[in-house]
Amino acid sequence: NYIKAFAPATVANVSCGFDIFGFAIEEPGDVVEIWRRDEPGIIIKDIFGDEGRLPRNPEKNAVTGVMIHLLKHLGITNFGCEVALHKNMPLGSGMGSSAASAVAGVVAMNELLDCPLARTELLPFAMEGERIASGSAHADNVGPALLGGFVIIRSYSPLDVFSIPVPKDLYCTLVHPDIEINTKDARYILRDEVSLKNTISQMGNVAGLVAGLMKEDYDLISRSMVDVIIEPVRSILIPEFNKVKQAALDHGALGCSISGSGPSMFALSRGIENAKKVGEVMKRTFSEAGIESSTHVSLI
């Protein structure tokens, strides 16, 4: 009658793969607790770590919103539970904060119901959590938060999502500057149209990054971590973006870009020592401009 579930932070887009690439990191992550109760209806008992900012209305909150969708799908009408959410990452951080909550929520509910759905079948429900939180049901955070590892969304309609192997020595450095960007705004500023020239560059890099990861070819990974479509537009929202990116590359990162819709930035490196060094230099570069930041280093 009680379930506790954890879902990790994620890096979406991974430079060239807007809305189609994402990977999970080890920590931080959100935790959802759920208790069965006799009376029907979902109640939000507590939310910790959001400074009172997330909606307390169960329909509007991503965690309970996905639970409601799941119950509706299963045709369960008189179910009652209380839910607590522990947010362990900042809102609007680009670390897949809403995705971690939605995934932990849907996994916890499925467990409490004795697992009527398989893990992969929970994905569309977790995506609804993203729609509640940001107005767009992208799967590049919820996919890896649910399935783990490096995930590709080959198609949204029909949904076709799978994981690929990555080199065993590949580390992510995630740096979160103390500013906030909400995903809805960061999507709104994107152009609808892309030139043929940029499409060709981006397709080359997408193909190169997938091949580089699967072949454990670090040089190819590095050459392919280039985004000519989204990064040039969104990077203007992140103070010191170019300096921080250059500092990471100068100190051995294979590549560096915006994590999800920002403001967090991520870098990939070969080996944990390199990843740590890259984190220090990225943090220092932000700090020289008067911006505080926090750093996480994690195996992918």
Q: Which residues are catalytic?
A: 130, 183
By CB under 6 A, tell whether 141 contacts ligand HSE.
yes
Alpha carbon distance 198, 124 (integer Å):
30
List of residues 6+ apart from 198 with CB closer than 8 A? 228, 229
By CB under 6 A, tell whether 13 contacts ligand HSE.
yes
Alpha carbon distance 296, 175 (integer Å):
7
148 is in an annotated binding site: no
By CB under 6 A, tell whether 138 contacts ligand HSE.
yes
Instruction: Round the CA-based radius of gyration of the chain to a whole number and report it.
Output: 19
By CB under 6 A, tell whether 187 contacts ligand HSE.
yes
Site string for ligand HSE, 81-100 (x = CB under 6 A): -------------x-x----
- Number of other CB atoms surrounding residue 277 within 10 Å: 18
By CB under 6 A, tell whether 12 contacts ligand HSE.
yes
Torsion sign over Cα 165, 10, 133, 20: negative
Alpha carbon distance 258, 255 (integer Å):
11
SS3 content of the chain, % helix, strand, coil (to 5): 40, 25, 35
Stretch that binds ligand HSE, among 167-175, 182-190, 240-248, 272-280 (CB under 6 A): 182-190
Stretch that binds ligand HSE, among 121-129, 179-187, 196-204, 266-274 (CB under 6 A): 179-187
Stretch that binds ligand HSE, among 134-142, 174-182, 194-202, 277-285 (CB under 6 A): 134-142
145 is in an annotated binding site: no
In whole angstroms, the minimum distance from the beta carbon of 198 to ligand HSE comes to 17
Q: Which is nearer to ligand HSE, 19 or 50 (CB)?
A: 19
Alpha carbon distance 266, 173 (integer Å):
5
Interface positions with ligand HSE (CB under 6 A): 12-13, 18-19, 94, 96, 138, 140-141, 183, 186-187, 260-261
